Amino acid sequence: MATYSIFQLFIFSFLILKSLSQTHPSPKQPPKSLILPVSKHPSTLQYTTQFNLGTPLNPQTLLLDLGGRLLWIDCENGYNHSSTYRPGLCGSAMCSAAKPIFGCELCLFSSSKQGFCNNNTCLVAIENTITTTVQFAEIAIDTISIGPFTMVPNFIFGCASAWLIKGLDSGINGVVGLGRTRIGFPTQLTSRFGGTFRRKFALCLPSSTSKSNGIVVFGDVRYVFYPNYNKSKLIDLTTSFSFTKLLVNPVTTADDVQGEPSADYFIGVTSITINKKPISQINTTLLSIDKNGFGGTKISTVKPYTVLESSIYNLVTENFAKELEAMNVARVAPMTPFTECFSTKNLKYNLVGVEVPNIGFVFENEDVYWELHGANLMVEISREVVCLGLLDGGLNPRTSIVIGAHQLEDNLLQFDLAASKLGFTSTLLEQEVECANFIV
Ligand SMILES: *[C@@H]1O[C@H](CO)[C@@H](O)[C@H](O)[C@H]1NC(C)=O
Ligand SMILES: *[C@@H]1O[C@H](CO)[C@@H](O)[C@H](O)[C@H]1NC(C)=O
Ligand SMILES: *[C@@H]1O[C@H](CO)[C@@H](O)[C@H](O)[C@H]1NC(C)=O
Ligand SMILES: *[C@@H]1O[C@H](CO)[C@@H](O)[C@H](O)[C@H]1NC(C)=O
C-alpha cells in the first residue's frame, strides 16, 4: 500500500468536502478539475505523482513527464491482473488514437507479462525519456482513479515490460505523459469529461524534497495560495499570469515516433537578458525552430537543469560571471556538472534566494519576459559555494534551450491547450508562497 502524505490526505478530504458541498450532488456529475500531487526525489531529482490504476485499485507512483506522449506502466511488476483491463485490439478506436503505431502483433512475451500480453493487439513505441530507451508495447485501456471519487474508465495507456523503467527511481512504476498528443494525459481527461472541463492544466513543481508538495491541476480553477507568514490569508494568482504563445514543433522531438508533431511544449524565446540587459551576440537562428524541427525552446520536467546550446551557454555564463565579478563575488572551482561556481562570501540572501543577477527569457516583445531569480538559478553546493544551475548542451543539439525543472520550481505555469498559450508567474517565493501552499 502506498503511504499518503499529509498533503494528499488533505486533497482527498477536500474532495470529500467538495462533493458534499456541490449543489447537485450526483456521482455522475463530471468534475471541472482534477488535482495530482507532485513530489521531488532528493537524489535523482525526479518528480513523481500518484494515482490508482485498475480494478481492484493498484496504486501507482509515476514519473511526471511534461512532454511525454502518453501514460505508460511497467505491466510486469506493480500492476496486478485487473478486471477492467482491455487490450487495444487491432483496428479499434484506441489503436488509431494511439498512432503512430508500430503494427499489429501476436503476443511475443506472454510468459513474462501474465495477462498483459495479447494476440491481435496493436503495439505502440514508448520512450523512457530519462534514458531515451524505446520499447514496443501493447496499447490498452483500464480505469484510473484520482483521489477516492474520480474514476476515469477506459483510459488509454501503454503496457510496457519491466526493462523500460530502468533508470527511474526505485518505486516508480511508469510515466505520466502530459504531452500534446491525442492520448496525452490532459487531452484524454478533457475528452472524457468534455463540456466544462477545460483543455488546460497548471504545473507547480516543489523545490523541497521533504515538506513541500507540488501540484498538477487539470481543468479550470482559481489558483489560490496562502503565504507562509499567515495561513488564513489568501493570495489569488488566477489573474497574475503573463502569457506567451505555445508553439508546435512540426517535427517530433522524441526517439520513439516519426511523422507526427512534437509532443513537447515549445515557446518562442527571442532574447535572453542578464539583469534586464539583452545579450546581443546570441545567434537568433538557434532560437527559432527550423524546418527539420531543430532549434527553439521547450520546457521539460525530466531535465533537472536548463540545458543551453554551447554558444548560448557560453554567452550566458560569461555575462553572468561578469556581473558577479562586478559585485566582488569570487569564482571558485567547478563542481560537476556545473562550470560556474561562486563563493557565497559577498552574497546576500533574500526572499527569492541568493542575490545574484537575474536571467530573463524574453518572448514576443521586451515587455513579455520570464525572469529567474536566485532560487531558480543557483544550486547550493555548501554554505560557502553556489553554482549556476545551467548545463552546456553542446553544439547542434536537437533543441537549443531546454528549460529544466530547477528553473520551474515554485513558479506557477499554466498550459492552455485550447488557446495555445503558456501562462507563467515569476517565482512565488516573492510573495512568500510555495507550491505546497495551494488551496484546493
Ligand atoms: C498484487 O498482488 C500481490 C499478491 O496478491 C500483492 O501482494 C500486491 O500488493 C499486489 N500489488 C498491487 C500493486 O496491488
Ligand atoms: C497467440 O497466438 C499464437 C499463435 O496462434 C498462440 O500460439 C499463442 O498461444 C497465443 N497467445 C496468447 C497469449 O493468446
Ligand atoms: C492573517 O490574514 C487574515 C485574513 O487576511 C487576517 O484577518 C489576519 O488578521 C491575519 N493575521 C495576522 C497575524 O496578520
Ligand atoms: C547561427 O546558427 C545557425 C544554426 O546552427 C548556423 O547555421 C549559423 O552559421 C550561425 N550563425 C553564426 C553567425 O554563427
Domain of 47 in residue numbering reads as: 32-197
Residue 227: inside a domain: yes
> What integer pLDDT is reported at residue 109 of this predicted model?
58
Low-confidence ranges of the chain (pLDDT < 50): 1-26
- Of the listed ligands, the closest to the CA of 288 is 4
Q: Quickly list DSSP for 109-128.
A: -TTTSTTS--TTEEEEEEEE
Handedness of CA 239, 245, 248, 253 (dihedral sign): negative
Alpha carbons 289 and 292: distance in angstroms, whole number: 8
CATH of the domain at 327: 2.40.70.10
Q: How distant is the alpha carbon of residue 340 from its chain centre?
A: 26
Residue 414: inside a domain: yes
Give exposure, 31-42, as e/b (b: 16+ Cβ within 10 Å): bebbbbbbbbbe
Cα 231 to middle of ligand 3, angstroms: 8
Note whether 49 and 111 are same-domain residues. yes
Residue 92: inside a domain: yes
Identify each DSSP E strand in 147-186 by its residue range: 150-160, 174-177
Ligand 1 atom 1 nearest Cα: 80
Cα 224 to middle of ligand 3, angstroms: 16
The overall pTM is greater than 0.85: yes
Note whether 140 and 278 are same-domain residues. no
> What integer pLDDT is reported at residue 101 of this predicted model?
62
Ligand 1 atom 2 nearest Cα: 80
- Of the listed ligands, the closest to the CA of 281 is 4
Note whether 297 and 173 are same-domain residues. no
Where do the H-state alpha helices sit in 282-386? 310-326, 374-377
Note whether 153 and 271 are same-domain residues. no
Determine the residue of 89, 105, 107 to mutate for testing ligand 2's pocket, defined as the one with the most ligand atoms within 8 A of the Cβ atom. Answer: 107
Residue 13: inside a domain: no
Ligand 2 atom 3 nearest Cα: 106
Torsions phi, psi of 291, nearest 5?
Answer: -70, -15
Ligand 1 site, residue 296, Cβ cutoff 6 A? no
Note whether 229 and 335 are same-domain residues. yes
Domain boundary among 197, 215, 245: 197
Q: Hey, what amino acid is at 94?
A: M
Closest by alpha carbon to 184, among 75, 90, 67, 53?
Answer: 67
Residue 17, exposed/middle/buried by CB under 10 A (0-12, 13-18, 19+)?
A: exposed
| CB-based pocket (< 6 A), ligand 3 | 230, 232-233
Domain boundary among 197, 214, 246: 197
Ligand 1 site, residue 58, Cβ cutoff 6 A? yes
Alpha carbons 78 and 62: distance in angstroms, whole number: 11
> What integer pLDDT is reported at residue 27 of this predicted model?
53
- Of the listed ligands, the closest to the CA of 227 is 3
Residue 16: inside a domain: no
Domain boundary among 197, 215, 250: 197
Residue 216: inside a domain: no
Ligand 2 site, residue 120, Cβ cutoff 6 A? no
162 neighbors 77 (Cβ within 8 angstroms): yes
- Of the listed ligands, the closest to the CA of 73 is 1
Note whether 53 and 158 are same-domain residues. yes
Note whether 406 and 269 are same-domain residues. yes
Cα 409 to middle of ligand 1, angstroms: 34
> What integer pLDDT is reported at residue 44 of this predicted model?
87
Determine the residue of 80, 83, 84 to mutate for testing ligand 1's pocket, defined as the one with the most ligand atoms within 8 A of the Cβ atom. Answer: 80
Note whether 232 and 374 are same-domain residues. yes
β-strand partners of 414: 202, 423
Atom of ligand 4 nearest to the CA of 311: 14
Alpha carbons 409 and 432: distance in angstroms, whole number: 14
Provide the number of structural domains found in the chain.
2
Residue 141: inside a domain: yes
Task: Count the helices and strands in the chain (H runs, E runs).
Answer: 5, 33
Note whether 247 and 387 are same-domain residues. yes
Residue 82: inside a domain: yes
Note whether 235 and 312 are same-domain residues. yes
Note whether 84 and 185 are same-domain residues. yes
Note whether 303 and 408 are same-domain residues. yes
Ligand 1 site, residue 80, Cβ cutoff 6 A? yes
Ligand 2 atom 13 nearest Cα: 118
Ligand 1 site, residue 82, Cβ cutoff 6 A? no
Cα 378 to middle of ligand 1, angstroms: 42
Cα 263 to middle of ligand 4, angstroms: 26
